[in-house]
Structure 1
Amino acid sequence: MSVKQGKQTRIDLNTAVIGLARARNQKASAEQKLEQSKIDLTEVLGVSPSDAVGVTGELDVTLEDLPPTSQLVEMAQSQRADLKAAAARIAADESGLEVAKSLTIPNLKVFGFYDREEGSNLFGAGVSMPLTVFHDYSGEQRQAAARLKTSELEAEALRLATERQVVSAVARYESTAVRLRQMNESILERSEETLQLMQKALRAGKVGASDVLAAQDNLLSVRQEYVQVQNDYIDAVRALEISTGGALSMSAGS
């Protein structure tokens, strides 16, 4: 209409046509992603993919304060199944070492006897001890000690790895929490306010439609970035829960 009225050029019209085509492609891509997300949701819910599922309401991501990092590390080291398994291996290897040591110590046998010889009563006692001449079990003891040492080193390495995972997860969580708070309070709200002001200015004849479209496009970009930050936050929450072995359970939104 603007081209016919001489207010816009043919170049402007071509730009608008290209923009419309891009918008339609983006919409088709978004619809495809939406359908795939619904299929993924049915898998998580354990229902048939053919069932009609949907999500209503707004994604509400609640920021929560974390306990001290040292406390989270202690929770992880007492809760994680892999650390419990490592402790069980150490206990088993300690028992194996004790058994190997017992084999190197001869079993002493104490005995007594009674006999008669030429009208006399003979009483006596003695101690017997087997001599391990051919096999002293020292090799078994060294092997058991080596297994115990290996289990202890592996358990220590696992404890250090757990601590690094928790510290890393905490840093990731705090970073995404700051980004989410800034995005919500500063960028998103101001972008929405800018669009509202541009719409009022358009009705008052102070700006053109292209200015409003630019504000709308900026708001869409900001919302997409906001959704990505929310995803990053949820991933950070999940990393915290995994690193602590489920000892920490947080709300990732509803």
Structure 2
Amino acid sequence: MFCTLDRPGTGRGRILLTALLLVLPSLALAQASVLTLDSALRTAWDNNPELAAARWGIDIAEGERIQAGVLPNPEVGWEMEDTRSGSQTTTVSVSQMFELGGKRGARLSLAGRDAELAALELERQRNVLRAEVFGAFQAAVQAQEGLQLAEESLRLSERGLQVVQGRVKAGSASPVEATRAQVQVSEVRLEQGRAEQALTVAYQQLAAATGASMAPFSRVEKASAETPAMPSRTQLLERLEQTPDMRLARLQIDQREAALDLARTQRVPDLTVSVGSQYSETDRERINVVGVSMPIPLFDRNQGNVLAAARRADQARDQRNGAELRLRSEVVQALAQWGTAAQEVQAFDRSILSSAQQAVEAATRGFERGKFSFLDVLDAQRTLVAARLQYLQAQAQQSEARARLERIFGDLSLASR
């Protein structure tokens, strides 16, 4: 379809141009109203404040590394002896402190460990964010399906109500059964309202995970690909040492050891050398002066800081062992949850849902023919609704288990290779 616009200066051209400007944002919003998992992850990488804060940590560590390698500044001194005119002695000197004991190298080593920690923390934060976005996205998908289930249950109940009302009018059913059907419809409508509220909450939580204050989408699109196969327990446990959490725990030991080395170097006093010139007005003579100074480590040998640094290193080793135990337990529990949920999903897919649906259809047809009471229809409907709810809960448990593992390993499609 082709159209032409009048010149913008004319009245018709201005009207068409204004209408076009109003329509274009709506079209763009309509195109962006469906959110996919990939787009949610990309948005989170760009907008999530926690991830942005972790990125700044790398620049902070780089600044500290630069500062750790800087040499001490020289000092300029001016001194006057005897303030009486004609008998003054003035000294101008320059002093430079020389660090001894390898302090500068120890600082650089510690700053290098801090930079590595910042990079690992960013990687760990990316895994945490990915797991949060994935979990929130799957929760939104489950909420959408829950609302669809409530709407289907409402249609099913309304159909049952119509059948009962028809039989009551025909005199082949008691008005009590119509009341029961009406109560069933009212209960399902309440469930639909709760499902709508749950969907709103799920959308808001997903928006917050991506760094948005409000949900800029109206629906999330479930991935068409099948759920990846559950990774083996042996495979994941073997890769546990390469996870950001374990690497972070090991690097924290190295960082504490570097801090201990730096504390030990502080026991060695620094040397200060000064050179200058002294002028005496009494003798009308200028002489050169040279000085050397060094603290005497008599009382303060940095013994307290050395002890504290040594115990922090021991603490980091225990924390590393604790992290390994915690992660191993988390992996085993998540795999067990995933396996149980996957079996339930398969059972529902194979027979339970189809059997429950057939039972509802058979009970409804039997009631229409007078073979069953409406209580049988209600029981079959409630069984179908309960089965669908359990099916959604099993899917949610499976998604939650996967999110728990991705929080540790990152993308499982990459971790399982």
Q: TM-score by structure 1 length?
A: 0.67
Q: Residues of 2 paired with 1:248 and 1:4: CA distance?
A: 60
Tell me if structure 1 keeps the 8 A contact 2:168–2:178: no
Q: 356, 375, 380: which is aligned to 1:191?
A: 356
| CA gap 1:248/1:75 in 2 versus in 1, 3 angstroms | farther
1:240 aligned onto 2:405? yes
Written as runs of structure 1 = structure 2, the 5 A alignment for 1:39-50 is 40-41=202-203, 44-45=206-207
| CA gap 1:183/1:36 in 2 versus in 1, 3 angstroms | closer
1:72 aligned partner? 236
| CA gap 1:43/1:167 in 2 versus in 1, 3 angstroms | closer
Q: Residues of 2 paired with 1:73 and 1:163: CA distance?
A: 7
Per-residue deviation, residues 7-43 of structure 1 (Å, max 9, x unmatched): 444xxx2343144134224214313522551463266
How far residue 94 of structure 1 moved from its aligned partner, in angstroms, is 0.9
Q: Residues of 2 paired with 1:144 and 1:51: CA distance?
A: 50
Aligned residues: 221
Report the identity percentage. 22
1:98 aligned partner? 261
Amino acid at match of 2:259: G
Q: Residues of 2 paired with 1:95 and 1:55: CA distance?
A: 48
| CA gap 1:173/1:156 in 2 versus in 1, 3 angstroms | same
2:108 aligned partner? none
Q: Residues of 2 paired with 1:154 and 1:55: CA distance?
A: 40
Q: Residues of 2 paired with 1:88 and 1:50: CA distance?
A: 39
Q: TM-score by structure 2 length?
A: 0.44
Q: 151, 174, 182: which is aligned to 1:20?
A: 182
Q: 85, 88, 91: which is aligned to 2:251?
A: 88
Q: Residues of 1 paired with 2:263 and 2:309: CA distance?
A: 7
1:111 aligned partner? none
> Runs of 5+ in structure 2 lacking a partner?
1-165, 271-294
Q: 199, 208, 218: which is aligned to 1:37?
A: 199
Q: Residues of 2 paired with 1:136 and 1:35: CA distance?
A: 65
Tell me if structure 2 keeps the 8 A contact 1:43–1:49: no
1:226 aligned onto 2:388? no
| CA gap 1:247/1:59 in 2 versus in 1, 3 angstroms | closer
1:121 aligned partner? none
| CA gap 1:3/1:193 in 2 versus in 1, 3 angstroms | closer
Written as runs of structure 1 = structure 2, the 5 A alignment for 1:52-201 is 53-54=218-219, 62-80=226-244, 82-102=245-265, 132-198=297-363
| CA gap 1:35/1:137 in 2 versus in 1, 3 angstroms | closer
Q: Residues of 1 paired with 2:351 and 2:409: CA distance?
A: 35
Residue 412 of structure 2 aligns to a residue whose secondary structure is coil
| CA gap 1:29/1:2 in 2 versus in 1, 3 angstroms | closer
Residue 177 of structure 1 aligns to a residue whose secondary structure is helix
| CA gap 1:198/1:156 in 2 versus in 1, 3 angstroms | same
Amino acid at match of 1:231: A
Q: Residues of 1 paired with 2:377 and 2:341: CA distance?
A: 31
How far residue 225 of structure 1 moved from its aligned partner, in angstroms, is 1.9
Amino acid at match of 2:382: D
| CA gap 1:71/1:62 in 2 versus in 1, 3 angstroms | same
| CA gap 1:14/1:51 in 2 versus in 1, 3 angstroms | farther
1:118 aligned partner? none
How far residue 92 of structure 1 moved from its aligned partner, in angstroms, is 2.0
Amino acid at match of 1:79: T
> Runs of 5+ in structure 1 lacking a partner?
108-129
